[in-house]
Amino acid sequence: MSQKRILKADRAYTATDSDIIEQAAVAMAGDRITYVGPVAGLTPELTADAVVEELPGHTLLPGMLDGHVHLSFTAGPNHDQVVDDISRETDMEQVLRTASNAQKCLRAGLTTVRDLGGRRDVVPTVRDAINAGRLAGPRILSCNVPITVTGGHIHFVGWEANEEWELRRAVRTLIKHGADVIKICASGGNMTAESNPLMVQYSAQQLGVVVEEAHKLDTPVAAHAIPTDSIRNCIEAGIDTIEHCVWLGADGGYDYDEEAMATAVAKDLTVSITLAGVFRGYLADMPLSEDMRAAMGISGPLEEERVAQFRNTWQSGVNLIISSDSGVRYTPFDDYYISLRCAAELIGIPPREVLMMATRNPAKGLGVLHERGTLETGKAADIIAVAGNPLADIKAMADVKLTIVGGKVMFREEMIDAPRTPALGVN
């Protein structure tokens, strides 16, 4: 008989229409949720032989999903350092680092992470070990290596493809080798010294070829896109998740395109914003924030225009998800809550919606909503418990006490004595 477990807490945030349940219970048997509702509604059938855990003062939530991480990267103090680290490490060191980083995600309350690029076969090796039960970790969706132009953004781990037939071949080969998602760098990026973040790397037509080829094999496409021209190309091509989406104009100022976003909404596309690496230094009470501000070159308050385009994107009604880009500079794997705080405190999104952008919305955008992203009977038992009430104060998301993946306890606070990643660039 499969293991039965019941969690009881002050409330559950379900990320469904029923939203919040006071004095809640979530029951599971094996890897499935069997009940979500008030404690008073538990039946003898559910409670018989079940391990019952009381969590007074806690909130139960669906396990969170981070749509954009780099599990093999080192979260060092600057881009050059990260590129140097991952270029220098052996494949064996990279696999161990990836496994260790994946486990840090459990501590952050993440039960699914989508890796958008590393050295060939490193992340899929760890994903497969977790799936086979040989290693504890979150569920991983992997692009394996990202597609980029010759010398383009993250070329040091990328598959360089320029012409249409090269793009088709890259997509087919990656899927043949088990990619869960295709990642393409539609524009240059800050991490790659040889690329220009304001420059378009692929036309809408080229991106369309990638979408066509990937969708033939039921595989979604994620595209890195910083400037407005590149975002427009992604929307025209029907890219499933547009990553970063910073709306930078050719002159380096901000250039939000309302009409393009309306098209993205009509096509039911997803925008995946990555805030934590850029904005964490603006959270005044962050530990070490003085050092962090100095390292990040922050002197004054956050300029309104830098957050305005994220606010516009949110208010367009698009399926918006909050991703971390963990692994790049300043962005360790165990503090996804910082991304949530940036969304709530700097963009002004209410906590209830922020939590939706970490659960149901990413499950939809990543194509796994039928299995994950909400607390509902019949779904996979991916559940977290946090101390306090994050609906009242999003800071509570820093206090993840319990992370369950597929009905198995993968993280419990007492399991780790060390503090979180303690300082900038330590990993």
The footprint of Zn ion (CB under 5 A) covers 325
Kindly report each contact of residues 78-82 with a partner whose C-beta sits within 8 Å and lies 24 or more positions away, as own/partner: 78/295, 78/329, 78/425, 79/190, 79/191, 79/193, 79/328, 79/329, 80/193, 81/329, 81/425, 82/191, 82/327, 82/328, 82/329
Q: Please state the closest distance from residue 191 (CB atom) to Zn ion, in A.
A: 8
Q: Please state the closest distance from residue 325 (CB atom) to Zn ion, in A.
A: 5
**C-beta of 29 vs 222, nearer to Zn ion:** 222
Spatial strand order in the sheet of 64-69: 64-69, 110-115, 139-142
Q: Which two tokens stand for residue 402?
A: 């319990």
Q: Please state the closest distance from residue 246 (CB atom) to Zn ion, in A.
A: 12
Alpha helix (H) ranges present in 324-403?
Answer: 336-341, 351-356, 360-365
CA-closest candidate to residue 187, choices 144, 249, 145, 143: 249
Torsion on CA atoms 227, 232, 235, 236, rounded to nearest 10 = -140
Q: How far apart are CA 29 and CA 6, in angstroms?
A: 9
**C-beta of 192 vs 309, nearer to Zn ion:** 192
CA 363 and chain centroid, separation: 10
Q: Please state the closest distance from residue 328 (CB atom) to Zn ion, in A.
A: 6
Q: Please state the closest distance from residue 185 (CB atom) to Zn ion, in A.
A: 9
**C-beta of 207 vs 385, nearer to Zn ion:** 207
Q: Please state the closest distance from residue 327 (CB atom) to Zn ion, in A.
A: 8
CA 130 and chain centroid, separation: 18
C-alpha torsion sign, points 125, 128, 132, 133 = positive
CA-closest candidate to residue 268, choices 207, 324, 320: 320
**C-beta of 127 vs 329, nearer to Zn ion:** 329
Q: Whose CB is nearest to Zn ion?
A: 325
**C-beta of 229 vs 325, nearer to Zn ion:** 325
Question: Contact, 226 vs 198, CB < 8 A?
Answer: yes
Q: Please state the closest distance from residue 145 (CB atom) to Zn ion, in A.
A: 13
Q: Please state the closest distance from residue 68 (CB atom) to Zn ion, in A.
A: 5
Q: Please state the closest distance from residue 112 (CB atom) to Zn ion, in A.
A: 17
Alpha helix (H) ranges present in 75-163?
Answer: 79-88, 91-107, 122-131
**C-beta of 325 vs 335, nearer to Zn ion:** 325
Query: In one letter, which amino acid is 264?
Result: A
**C-beta of 257 vs 325, nearer to Zn ion:** 325
**C-beta of 34 vs 192, nearer to Zn ion:** 192
End-to-end CA distance of the chain: 41
**C-beta of 59 vs 148, nearer to Zn ion:** 148
